[in-house]
Amino acid sequence: MEALETLDLSLYADTALGLETGLSDDSECWASVAAAGLQFYGYDGPDGLDGRVMPAPGDRLGLVRAPDNPADANAVEIWWRNEHMLGHLPRGVAAELAPRLDGGEPVRAYCADPGTGEAWSLVVLLVGRGVEALHRQRLERLTNTRAWEERLELLDAEEAVWGRERMLPDPDVPWGRVTTTTIPEPTTAQFMAAQRFWEGRRRVQTERRAAAVYAFHMIPKERPALPAGPVDEALRGRVFGWWDEVPATLKTKTQWAEAGRKLAKGAAPFAAVEYGRGRRYRRHDLYAVSDTVAMREASPQAVAAAAEAAFRSGRLRVW
């Protein structure tokens, strides 16, 4: 559902989006999506007596969770000026962001392109640590797309030289008829030259993907503050129905890792959160801070260098 491949902040000067300094120096995660459901909420319709329900490029938008939506428990509504509901985030994006929004992770929304008023024409820019997974997917897709473009370019070049039929005039046939002939197979020297060309392209692709890994790991990750106060022992073994019921003193294994802590050896879940049904059923174990130990800190440069070395050795695939 990606709508923008690159972002030119000069188009949003003197707007709320233009104040996002983290986008200009690549220190913020971001992703763009096309809004769903514009046709159902009067988008581009009249706004009072003197305007239209259509945000300007760079306007701040609001994201509101709607867990009671009968069609999708992960629904995230898009609002403008706190009085006009414009539509929803696409279902796949909402499924990714809903737990993060419910967990309090920061996600800011802006109008990147108001569109034409037709369905799916509004492009929403999402910024913040909560869209880290979408940011990662965008980097992967851009890298893979360029790799395929290079492969197609090379295949076209090879086809132009080897194994391609061409039309030649036949002097023995009257009326200018032509016959076809096939260019012969390449010589050993031509084959070796093509192999060297392929290896060069592969090196470029590897360096490009490693650079993407490096750039992503260089983004500073904000670590949430540890909760103050002891855990209520009465909550031990409880199963919560949704994230907003979980107290700040209980977190999942991933959330503790983001806070700089890891589970102690043999730690058993303190509680759990369960929601959904059927194929949408989800269960996440929760742990108290007493079940964790502090992780050894590593600088962003060390993390990036380790990721790049692992990728070059073939032990790490780009997401």
Q: Where are the chain's structural domains?
A: 9-127, 136-217, 223-319
What is the chain's Cα-based Rg? 27
pTM over 0.95: no
Query: Among 16-30, 97-111, 162-176, 183-197, which range has the highest average pLDDT?
Result: 97-111
> Which residue has better confidence, 233 or 214?
233
Q: Which fold has domain 9-127?
A: Alpha-Beta Plaits (3.30.70)
SS3 40: helix
The answer to whether residue 285 scores a pLDDT higher than 90 is: yes
Q: What is the pLDDT, as a whole number, of residue 168?
A: 53
Q: What is the pLDDT of residues 183-224, one digit of tens each?
A: 556 667 767 777 777 777 777 777 777 666 666 666 656 666
Q: What is the pLDDT, as a whole number, of residue 185?
A: 62
Q: What is the pLDDT of residues 270-283, one digit of tens each?
A: 999 998 878 888 89
Q: What is the pLDDT of residues 134-171, one digit of tens each?
A: 888 887 777 666 666 666 666 665 555 554 555 555 55
How large is the average pLDDT for residues 75-100? Answer: 93
How large is the average pLDDT for residues 228-251? Answer: 85
End-to-end CA distance of the chain: 18
Q: What is the pLDDT, as a whole number, of residue 62?
A: 94
Q: What element of type H or E holds 308?
A: helix 300-312
The answer to whether residue 79 scores a pLDDT higher than 90 is: yes
> Which residue has better confidence, 21 or 120?
120
Q: What is the pLDDT, as a whole number, of residue 213?
A: 66
The answer to whether residue 59 scores a pLDDT higher than 50 is: yes
> Which residue has better confidence, 143 or 31?
31
> Which residue has better confidence, 259 or 316?
259
Half-sphere exposure of 88 (CA within 13 A, CB side): 20
Question: Which residues contact residue 206 at a Cβ distance below 8 angstroms, ignoring those fewer than 6 apart?
Answer: 311, 312
The answer to whether residue 243 scores a pLDDT higher than 80 is: yes
255/105 Cα distance (integer angstroms)? 10
Q: What element of type H or E holds 282?
A: strand 282-288
Among 290, 283, 294, 281, which residue's Cα sits nearest to residue 250?
290
The answer to whether residue 319 scores a pLDDT higher than 50 is: no
Q: What is the pLDDT, as a whole number, of residue 318?
A: 47
The answer to whether residue 48 scores a pLDDT higher than 80 is: no
Q: What is the pLDDT, as a whole number, of residue 314?
A: 61
How large is the average pLDDT for residues 258-274? Answer: 88
The secondary structure of 152-187 as a DSSP string is: HHHHHHHHHHSS-EEEEE-TTSSTT-EEEEEPPPPP
111/58 Cα distance (integer angstroms)? 5
Question: Range with the lowest mean pLDDT among 3-12, 138-147, 261-270?
Answer: 138-147
The mean predicted confidence, pLDDT, of the chain is 79
